[in-house]
Each structure stands twice: as structure tokens, then as C-alpha cells.
Amino acid sequence: MDYPTLWFVLLGVLLAGYAVLDGFDLGVGLVHPLHKSDHDRRLAINSIGPLWDGNEVWLVTFGGALFAAFPEAYATAFSGFYFAFMAALGGLIFRAVSIEFRGKVDRAWWRLLWDGMFFLSSLVTTLVYGAAVGAAMAGVPLDNRGIMASSTLEQIGPFSLMVAALTVAAFALHGSLYLGLKTTGALRERTRVWAWFAYAAYVVLFFATTAVAVGTIDRATKNFDEHPWGAVIVLLNLLAVLNLPRCLTQRRYGQAFVSSGCSILALVFLFGFALFPELVASSTDPADSLTIYNSASSPKTLRLMALFALIGLPFVLAYTSVVYWTFRGKVQIDKHSY
């Protein structure tokens, strides 16, 4: 494996880590308006309280790693999707702020305000994340200097909207199942109903998106011809998706949560598998695409960074495990809670 390919894989790991981890706390935000009481909403916020910040670091590190490994792709995508990134930043800021500030003033209107902001910011962040993945699959208009020149409206194609909707359904499912794991009683029963609805939407959108991708985007299938083993992941994804109704009926929340996580991981994997070796695909002339080769940093730097990742990642996994282990079990409200 050459260094650009290694970094493509490592970026995929960071993106998948972000999707599966921040996916559930964004999902908790997406189902937030469905709660019946202020107490339930407080429980929901505190169920992700000690975790959401660390989950977001996966995205931040993805950004930094993209900047370092493939500066051309980072520069073109971030400046080309200017509006989308500003919206995402607004979403990330308001999410953090609503979690942090919600419990600080004991007034009903204050809490409702931040509950609303928590939902909206989670929705915006999820939509942008999904739409970005969709746009990357469908390709964007690049000129012959590898620079994106298109208006915001041109960038929102039907396919990116579909992927955005699919992402909302996937995270809502993942988040509902997470809440099911962390809560008890009537609230837990309600999260199961939400999970059913989210699951239905997810399955419909999943097949619709797959059909559109296979039917209209050459990029979606080209790598399967050369590497048929990719189909194994499709199969595993199907198993995970089909396992969910059984888990939901039998109230196996843990297994359901693992299944939705696996399905999200599989989707990110398939996205990377289809995109490879492109990073920012040109919708006009494929020769203008930014690939992992023409947008990479120097081999020496990629090797150096791989060394950083080798040293750093075991520590990252260790801290993450310690934190998740410490805050395991049902969510409890104590004097340090939000």
C-alpha cells in the first residue's frame, strides 16, 4: 500500500469513527422534540453529556488530517462549499452551546429555547454531513485547475439531498437506540417506537439511494468490478439492517445499537470504496478530479504523519475506552450533570 492510499484509509477511519460516535449524539438531538417532559429532555442531554465533545474531535482531527495529507482537496472542498461549511460551523457551535447552557438558568422558556436550538443545530449538522458525502459521490464542477466554481444552489443536487435525508434517518435510528440503552421505563419504551419509525425511513431511503447511485453514478459501482470483495461489506450491511427488526421486537437494545453502528460503518466504508482514488470528483471532466495522488502532500510528510497516527491512535483508543467505561450504564442525574 502506498502512503496516499494509507492516508485515504486513515481518513476513512476518522470519518467512520465520527459517523458512528457523533452519529448517536447527533441522533439524540434529532429525536429531542419528541420527548414528553423537561425531565426526559434533561436525561437525554446528560446521556451524551460526557461523550459528545470527544466524539466531535474525530471530525476535527479528520479536518486536520485532510489538511495535512491532501491539502489540495481540503482547500478546494472547504472553499468551494463555503456556505455549507459555515452552516456546519453554526450547527456545531450552537449544539455545544445548547448542551452547555441549557441547564444553567432554571426557567422553562430558557430550557425550551436551548432544547429547540439543540434539535435545530443537530439537524443542520447532520444534513450538511450527509449532503457533503452525497456531493462527493455525485461529483462537483471543478475547473482545470482543480478549483470548484459553483454557486451554493448548484451544489445541492437531488442525490446529495437524498443522502442528507438518509443520514438523518440513520442518525435518528442510532440515537434512539442509544437512548434506549441509557434509559429505563416509559421513556425507554418511547425510544423503541421512535427507533421503529426511523428504521422504516432508513430502509426506504437506503434502498432508494442505493438504486439512484447504482443507476446514475458510474463511480458508485466501478471499483466493484476490480475488487469484488467489496460486496462482502454490502452483505454484512444487509445483515445488520435485517437484524434490527428482530432486536427491536425482542428489546435487545445493545445488539440493536451495535447493528445500527455496523450499518453506519458499512455505509462510510462503501462511500470510501466507491470514491477511491478520488477525493473531490469532477462532474464535468473526470480528468480534472482531485485524486489521492495529485492532491497529496509529499511522501516524506505522509510517512511522518503515518508515524504520528501510529503513536497517537492507541492512546486515542485508550482514552476513549476509559471514558466510555467510566460513564457506562444508565444515565443518572447528579450535581455535576448538565
Stretch that binds another protein, among 129-137, 139-147, 197-205, 210-218 (CB under 8 A): 139-147
| Shortest distance in whole angstroms from residue 59 CB to another protein | 8
Stretch that binds another protein, among 44-52, 186-194, 202-210, 257-265 (CB under 8 A): 44-52
| Shortest distance in whole angstroms from residue 219 CB to another protein | 19
Within 70-109, which residues bind another protein (CB under 8 A)? 70-72, 74-80, 82-83, 85-86, 88-90, 92-94, 96-97, 100-101, 103-106
| Shortest distance in whole angstroms from residue 170 CB to another protein | 23
| The only residue of 37, 145, 185, 225 in contact with another protein, by rule CB under 8 A | 145
If the CB atoms of residues 54 and 230 are measured against another protein, the closer one turns out to be 54
Written as nine digits, the cell of 187 is 421513556
Q: Does 64 bind another protein (CB under 8 A)?
A: yes
Nearest Cα to 206, choosing from 246, 257, 264? 264
Nearest Cα to 88, choosing from 55, 61, 52, 127? 127
| The only residue of 53, 113, 262, 283 in contact with another protein, by rule CB under 8 A | 53
Phi, psi of 219 (to 5 degrees): -60, -30
If the CB atoms of residues 144 and 249 are measured against another protein, the closer one turns out to be 144
| The only residue of 201, 236, 262, 323 in contact with another protein, by rule CB under 8 A | 323
| Shortest distance in whole angstroms from residue 304 CB to another protein | 6
If the CB atoms of residues 255 and 337 are measured against another protein, the closer one turns out to be 337
Cis peptide, bond prior to residue 228, ω within 30 of zero = no
Within 237-296, which residues bind another protein (CB under 8 A)? 287-288, 290, 294-295
Within 302-321, which residues bind another protein (CB under 8 A)? 304-305, 308-309, 312-313, 315-316, 319-320
Distances (CA, A) of 216 to 139, 158, 250, 317: 12, 12, 39, 39
If the CB atoms of residues 100 and 161 are measured against another protein, the closer one turns out to be 100
Distances (CA, A) of 157 to 5, 104, 147, 177, 207: 29, 41, 19, 31, 18
What is the CA 253 to chain-centroid distance, rounded? 21
| The only residue of 61, 210, 283, 284 in contact with another protein, by rule CB under 8 A | 61
Measured between alpha carbons, how far is 305 from 300 in angstroms, rounded to an integer?
9
| The only residue of 5, 6, 34, 50 in contact with another protein, by rule CB under 8 A | 50
- Write down how long the chain is: 338
Measured between alpha carbons, how far is 249 from 286 in angstroms, rounded to an integer?
47
Q: For residue 289, is it left (φ>0), alpha (ψ between -120 and 50) or beta?
A: beta
What is the CA 103 to chain-centroid distance, rounded? 27
Measured between alpha carbons, how far is 199 from 191 in angstroms, rounded to an integer?
12
If the CB atoms of residues 7 and 257 are measured against another protein, the closer one turns out to be 7
